Structure 1
Amino acid sequence: MTKTARSDTPPAPHAVPRRSSRIFPRLGLVLLGAAGLAAWVALRSEGTPPSGPPRPPVPVKTALAERRPVPIRLRAVGTVEADAAVLVKAQVDGQLRRVHFREGDQVARGALLFTIDPRPYEAAVREARARLERDEALAEKAERDIRRYAELAARNSVSADRYEQLLANAKALRATVEADRAALERALLQHEYCFIRSPLDGVAGRRLVDEGAQIKANDDKGGLVELYRVQPVFVRFAVPQRHLPEIAARRAAGEALAVEAVLPGAGAVPETGKVEFFDPRVDAQTGTVLLKARFENRDRRLWPGQFVQAVLTLTTLPEALVIPAVALQSGQQGDFVYVVTPEATAEPRPVETGPTVDETVVVRAGLAAGEAVVVEGQIRLTAGARVQVVSP
């Protein structure tokens, strides 16, 4: 049996076991973590270093919330219409001899506008008058014959047939005289039609014919001139149908609905009028109701066909709290404004708003009269930010 030989030679002095090679990296990590923990504790114990100088106040402009009567208005595009527009036409044929006005003139009712050559109609008048005089003479003779033959017929000196024939002739001549009188009246009327006069007080529009033109009676292709009555005028406009019940209720109560006509051009003073007509039928295509307002137009600032902005006052809110509309901000929680506190800081304040009128908005809740709201500079504000109010 062979025995395994055991070596009694000791290991080399520089040999190191494998487990000892893993200890050093772990020890380094532990030491690094300890150093970081010590640094954090040192910072905590010394406190947070200062963050620098304080931020300067934000310059803002403000306005005060105030109470005042606020009219509730509807705005719409309106069209001016003349109180009356008449296209003047000739009632007789003839040559236009003279025009007695200029375009744009103010003409009075009955003023002479045109003259058509009257000579043919003067001749017709003379002819009708002569025919009347002739037939009147024949009728008078027939009446004398009847009186004379009546005596003869009473004595049976003439036949009854002869007498009845005289009566029939006299009656026919009386009818002829009446027809002649009607013909004379017609001739006189035709002669009068040669002098065309204004049927109303108004303004003359563009003249459609010139002197020397041949005029036809009641020409369907056109007329002579169009006249417009512009005192008063009407403004036609439409409002949404949801306002119809309120408008109808106020008219039923006898209340006047005031309307302003705002003219084009900055700074123009609006004309004032009142609603005189509203259509109870709603336009199915637009969902609007037609209204007409009357304006006296004393200064003649409104002209037919002109576009204006019609402003209808529905009602007036007494002592409503209002602020400039530019102060209103919108957030995730709804509308709010920045209020400047007595400590000169910005406080975001939720508000409940009402209608917007012109450049102001009605505040129903969230503000008190006299509080200052920011109207310029809101973009740089946060809750509690210091502010500096500057002059407008």
Structure 2
Amino acid sequence: MKPRLLLPLLVLLGIVAVVAWRLTAARASAQSATAAAAAARAPRSVPVVIADAVERDVPVWLSGIGAVQAYNTVTVRPRVGGTLDSVNFSEGQTVAAGDVIAQIDPRPYRAALDRAIAQKAQYDAQLKNARLELVRIRSLVASNAESRQLLEQNEAAVAQYEALSAGAQAAIDAARLDLDFTTVRAPIAGRTGVRRVDAGNIVTAGQPDGLVVLTQIQPVSVVFTLPQRHLAALRPGAQKAAADAASRLIVQALDDQGGVLADGRLDLVDNQIDAATGTLRLKATFPNASLALWPGQFVSARVLVETRPHAVVVPTPVVQNGLDGPFAYVVTGSNTVEPRPVKPGPVLDGYTLIESGLLPGERVVVDGHAKLKPGSLVRNAEHGARSAE
């Protein structure tokens, strides 16, 4: 080819190549814009946390606030007065029923007992003599050697000495009791408190402050209250408690964090409702083997009124409150949500029992409700949870 024809041909080929490149770029840009518009028109999925409604046996608890009370509390007071010879316990010591906890000077009471014994011996001697005299007088009266009046006088004398002897025996019994009361014993098993009198002091019978206060904390009681609306649920348990101790309702004492301190049994549903507060008082007994409960301690208490078999439960945040009442967002097979009315029951450890509205295995939204509306496309945003996509 001639050189003068080659240059125009090259220029023409360049122009053709540039036009082809521009057409290809325009086509690609148009396709990208179309795809972007389609993506903009497509609905976006909302990230939510999804869980399954599960079926299980659900214990139904009723919870209230209460306080721990000693099962028994006794202020130990002396029954007789005198010098306190010794105090035989340490503060905070656990004692058994009948243990000696103090000793009062017994000598005055031992002397009083000896005096009463001697007095009875005197009356017994006089009674013996009067009975012998009565036998002699009766024989004389039978032979008409003595008058009937003398016989009656001797019979009266015998009766008098018998009464004196019986009174002396009663004085001996009282003196023995007083002597026994000089040894102060624990009336119940329990733990001693602060010592209120030191050895060497003079104590009096029934002195107001006493010697020490004993509290029985094994077992221990918890008194708590519940709203009066729960009376119907509690009444069968109260009837069981009255009929059979083994069938009493289970009660748990809880700490501030909800941990179980001890397990016990319901003893009492009070016989009246507090009109001022509309509450019902209950009392439960705990063995308290680990001493987790202490008199005066505030605790939460819950009583197990029933166990519902095959109940449907969901995490508590699933249940939302709407204008038409409680509802839950249910995730459909196409990963969209629909609001469904539900009837919630008791709340138990972060889960809510569903009386009606949900079936076991249905997927429900736990978190992320704020951006949802009927028909919203969702995806499970919780790490490790079952995907909704």
Q: Tell me the TM-score normalized by structure 2.
A: 0.75
Q: Distance in 1 between matches of 2:152 and 2:359?
A: 108
Q: 2:182 aligns with which of 194, 208, 212?
A: 194
Change (3 A) 1:267 1:311: closer
What is residue 261 of structure 1 aligned with on the other side? 252
Change (3 A) 1:170 1:251: closer
What is residue 81 of structure 2 aligned with on the other side? 93
Change (3 A) 1:366 1:349: farther
Report which stretch shifted further, 254-263 or 152-161.
Answer: 152-161
- What percent of counterpart residues are identical? 34
Change (3 A) 1:332 1:170: closer
- Residue 172 of structure 1 aligns to a residue in which SS? helix
Q: Distance in 2 between matches of 1:289 and 1:165?
A: 71
- Residue 387 of structure 1 aligns to a residue in which SS? strand
What is residue 358 of structure 1 aligned with on the other side? 349
Q: How many residues were matched structurally?
A: 345
- Residue 192 of structure 1 aligns to a residue in which SS? helix
CA contact (8 A) 2:237 2:249 kept: no
CA contact (8 A) 2:196 2:212 kept: yes
What is residue 280 of structure 2 aligned with on the other side? 289
Cα deviation, 1:43-76, whole Å, max 9, x if unaligned, reads xxx99x9498679755433221111122222111
Structure 2, unmatched stretches of 5+, are: 1-32, 385-389
CA contact (8 A) 1:259 1:310 kept: no
Q: 2:369 aligns with which of 362, 372, 378?
A: 378
Structure 1, unmatched stretches of 5+, are: 1-45
CA contact (8 A) 2:344 2:356 kept: no
Q: Distance in 1 between matches of 2:170 and 2:325?
A: 84
Report which stretch shifted further, 168-177 or 150-159.
Answer: 150-159
Q: Distance in 1 between matches of 2:83 and 2:250?
A: 48
CA contact (8 A) 1:237 1:292 kept: yes
Does structure 1 residue 307 correspond to structure 2 residue 307? no
Report which stretch shifted further, 161-170 or 234-243.
Answer: 161-170
Matching residue's letter, 1:302: L
Q: Distance in 1 between matches of 2:338 and 2:180?
A: 82
Map 1:66-81 → 2, pairs under 5 A? 66-81=54-69
Structure number with greater Rg is 1
Cα deviation, 1:181-225, whole Å, max 9, x if unaligned, reads 221211111111111112223333333322222211123x33222
Change (3 A) 1:123 1:380: same
**Alignment RMSD (CA, Å):** 3.4
- Residue 176 of structure 1 aligns to a residue in which SS? helix
Map 1:125-140 → 2, pairs under 5 A? 125-140=113-128
CA contact (8 A) 2:120 2:165 kept: yes
Shift of 1:321: 1.5
Change (3 A) 1:186 1:322: same
Change (3 A) 1:135 1:340: same
What is residue 184 of structure 1 aligned with on the other side? 172
Q: Distance in 2 between matches of 1:173 and 1:75?
A: 70
CA contact (8 A) 2:255 2:261 kept: no
The structure with the largest helix share of the pair is 2
Q: Distance in 2 between matches of 1:267 and 1:74?
A: 14
Report which stretch shifted further, 57-66 or 333-342.
Answer: 333-342
Q: Distance in 2 between matches of 1:379 and 1:233?
A: 49
What is residue 214 of structure 2 aligned with on the other side? 227
Map 1:1-392 → 2, pairs under 5 A? 50=37, 58-147=46-135, 167-219=155-207, 221-249=208-236, 251-252=238-239, 256=247, 258-266=249-257, 268-343=259-334, 345-355=335-345, 356-382=347-373, 383-391=375-383
CA contact (8 A) 2:268 2:283 kept: yes
Matching residue's letter, 2:189: D
Matching residue's letter, 2:86: R
Shift of 1:133: 2.2
Cα deviation, 1:287-339, whole Å, max 9, x if unaligned, reads 22222223333333333332221212232332121110122333445434344
- Residue 210 of structure 2 aligns to a residue in which SS? coil
Q: Distance in 2 between matches of 1:275 and 1:249?
A: 12
Matching residue's letter, 1:193: F
Change (3 A) 1:312 1:165: closer
CA contact (8 A) 1:80 1:235 kept: yes
Shift of 1:231: 3.4
Change (3 A) 1:311 1:164: closer
Change (3 A) 1:134 1:269: same
- Residue 210 of structure 1 aligns to a residue in which SS? coil
Cα deviation, 1:113-135, whole Å, max 9, x if unaligned, reads 22111111111112222222233
Shift of 1:342: 4.5
Shift of 1:280: 3.5
- Residue 61 of structure 1 aligns to a residue in which SS? strand
Change (3 A) 1:104 1:263: farther
CA contact (8 A) 1:91 1:218 kept: yes
Change (3 A) 1:360 1:61: same
CA contact (8 A) 2:221 2:285 kept: yes
Matching residue's letter, 2:341: V
Matching residue's letter, 2:285: R
